[in-house]
Structure 1
Amino acid sequence: MDVVELLQGASLLVPEETATENDITVRDVWEYLAQDEWEVALDLLEELGDHHPLPLTFWKTLAKAAEQMRLERSAAWCHWRCSEIRHGVIRADLALRPAEESRRKTAIHGAGVLRPMWNIGNRMPTGEPALNIASLWVEYRPSLEPGERSSVRLLPLDPEQWRHVEPGQRITMHEDRSVAGTAVILEVQRPEWALMH
């Protein structure tokens, strides 16, 4: 399938009455497709998907379209959303420690590349804290500098270890034994199995 067919196919999975906060609808997507504005159409479809639960097929199709257009961040976002449908959504407010107080001196790439360890309250048999790995996506910005704060999305390597995590819970991020940042859980959504097909 070419890019246009993929975008058209994805748009057919969006209910016609779905609209974003800015009143963007699937009709807007079709208008941009008619004008060969594929990247704008892709952006609008991503936005529609962020405001309304859509099936796994929608995000897989968008990922293929983004890959064909060589839009790496969009492709990564669509693959991330596929994983969230399978494993659930965890959002948190993360504050990184300043560079002078931590080992990290450079910004975190925001598109799900970093896979830090997290102290989420689990314990090892010896009673010591067990750290659990989760990839990190910085929301609404390309990166996060030491000392900055942002809402983030977490994608656990082992979702079963994160079942007890709930909104309001305070967790710490680690890239080594020291604390690299502190986060407060904002939202937890369990997997939406009904959307898998």
Structure 2
Amino acid sequence: MDVPELLESVGLLVPEATATGNDLTVRDVWDHLVHDEWDTALDLLEELGGGRSLPPAWWEAMAGAAEQLRMERSAAWCHWRCAEARNGVIRADLTLSPAGATRRTSPVPGSGVLRPMWNIGHRSPAGGPSWNIAGLWIEGRPSLEPGGRATVRLLPLTPDRWRHLEPGQQITMHEDRTVAGRATVVELRPPATASPLVR
């Protein structure tokens, strides 16, 4: 699907005939495209998709458009959202351990490239913690410094092992045996392509 087809298929934009002064229409997005403001148009569409459960195909099309525009971070974000549409959304309030408390001395990258281990309450057969891997996306910033705090999104390698989580639950992040950060789950959403998570 190319960008024009994507815009025509987006059910998030208000039809011209029923639009009020505050509604975003296909024409509004096209105005940005005509003026070579592709990044602004794509950002608007990403924002519109942010509050709704859109199917993976929509996010794949958005990622393809971003890749055509060589917008690497936007493409990565759309690929991330596509995976969330398939697996569900986990958001948490993360505070990293301060510098000196762990081996990390540099900021944690924010665009999903880090896949740390998490203690989410599972136990090994020997009784110790059984860690689970999840990618980490930091909302609203490119990175997070040691000791810093931010809202993050987690993308589990094995989503079914995370289905027991509930808002308010405490989990810990690990890059080795030491605690690299502590997080509180703030939001859980089911996959866009499936029924709500079974608790």
Q: State the TM-score, normalized to the length of structure 2.
A: 0.88
Q: How high is the sequence identity, in percent, across the aligned residues?
A: 58
SS of the residue 1:62 aligns to: helix
Matched, 1:26 2:25: yes
- For 2:157 and 2:118, the matched residues in 1 are separated by 11
For 1:90, the aligned partner's letter is I
Report the AA paired with residue 25 of structure 1.
Answer: L
Distance 1:53 1:68, change over 3 A: same
- Secondary structure in 1 matching 2:171: strand
Partner of 1:7: 3
> Contact between 1:9 and 1:61, CA under 8 Å: does it hold in 2?
no
1:186 maps to a residue whose letter is V
Q: 1:150 maps to which residue?
A: 150
Deviation, structure 1 residue 14: 2.9
Over aligned residues, Cα RMSD in angstroms? 1.7
Distance 1:14 1:73 in 2: 24
In the alignment, what sits opposite 1:132? Answer: 132
The answer as to whether partners of 1:94 and 1:182 remain within 8 angstroms in 2 is: yes
1:1-197 alignment, distance < 5 Å: 6-11=2-7, 12-17=9-14, 23=22, 25-27=24-26, 28-193=28-193
Distance 2:172 2:91 in 1: 14
User: How many residues are treated as equivalent by the alignment?
Assistant: 187
Residues 67, 24 of structure 1: alpha-carbon distance in 2 compared, 3 angstrom cutoff: farther
Deviation string 1:55-103 (CA, Å, 9 cap, x unpaired) is: 2222111101111111111110000000000000000000001102111
Is the 2:97–2:180 contact (alpha carbons within 8 Å) kept by the matching residues of 1? yes
| Distance change in 2, residues 1:174/1:194 (3 Å) | closer
Q: Which deviates further from its counterpart, 185-194 or 80-89? A: 185-194
Q: Tell me if structure 2 keeps the 8 A contact 1:24–1:44.
A: no
Shift of 1:30: 2.0
Gaps of 5+ in 1: none
Is the 1:123–1:130 Cα contact (8 Å) retained in structure 2? yes
CA distance in 1, matches of 2:113, 2:55: 24
Maintained 8 Å contact 1:174/1:180: yes
* Between 8-17 and 145-154, the greater mean CA deviation after superposition: 8-17
CA positional deviation for 1:15: 3.0
Aligned equivalents of 2:10, 2:57: Cα separation in 1: 8
Contact 1:26 1:45 in 2 (8 A): no
Structure 2 unaligned segments of length 5 or more: list them: 16-21
Greater displacement, 7-16 / 146-155 = 7-16
Contact kept, 8 Å, 2:96 with 2:147, in 1: the verdict is yes
Find the aligned partners of 2:80 and 2:23 in 1 and give their Cα distance. Answer: 23
**Pairwise CA distance, 1:194:** 5.6
Cα drift, residue 10 of structure 1: 2.2
Shift of 1:24: 5.9
TM-score by length of 1: 0.89
